[in-house]
Amino acid sequence: MGIETLAIAGLGLSGLGAIQQFTAARSSSRFNAAAARQAAETARQNQALKQEQFARDARRLQARQRVQLAKSGVRLDSGTPLLLAGELAQELGFKSQLLRAGGDASIRALQRRAALDRLAGSNATARLGLGLGRTLLNGATVFNRL
C-alpha cells in the first residue's frame, strides 16, 4: 500500500467525519427546535390557565365586595361604593394585563429560541459544504506534495 492510497483513505475518512458532524448538528438543531416549540406551546397553555384562574378569582373578589357592601346597607350604584368597585376593577384589569404580558414575553422568547435552532440546522448544511471543501483542498495539497 503506497502513500497515495493512505492519503486517499485519509481523505475519505475526513469526508465521512464532516458528514457525520453535519448529521449530528442538524439532528441536534431539529431536536432543540422541536423542544423549544413544545415549551412555547406548554407556556401558552399555562398562560391561558393562569388567565382563566385569575379572571375567576377576580370575579369572586368583586362579588364578595358587592355582598359585603350590600350587607352593610350601602347603595352600590353611587358614591364611594361605586368608586371602590371601579378602582378594584381597574386594579384587577391592570394585574391581568401584567400576567398576560409576562406570559407573552416567555412565549416569544421560546419561539425565538426555536427559530434560532432551526437556523442552526440550516447553517449545518453550509458547514458541511465548507468541511468537505476543506477536506478536498487539504487532500489536493497532500497530492501536490507527493
- Residue 6: all three cell numbers together: 493512505
How far apart are the C-alpha atoms of 146 and 132, rounded to whole Å? Answer: 21
Confidence of residue 105 (pLDDT cuts 50, 70, 90): confident
What is the pLDDT averaged over residues 102-112? 83
Residue of 60, 20, 45 lying closest to 110 (CA atoms) = 45
- At residue 56, the pLDDT reads 92
How far apart are the C-alpha atoms of 47 and 72, rounded to whole Å? Answer: 37
Q: Residue written as cell 442538524?
A: 26
High-pLDDT (> 70) share of the chain, %:
78
Q: Residue written as cell 503506497?
A: 2
Burial bucket for residue 124 (CB in 10 Å: 0-12, 13-18, 19+) = buried
- Residue 60: all three cell numbers together: 369572586
- What's the whole-model pTM score? 0.61
Residue 84 · residue 62 · CB < 8 Å: no
pLDDT in tens, 27-75: 888 888 888 888 888 888 988 898 999 899 998 988 888 888 778 777 7
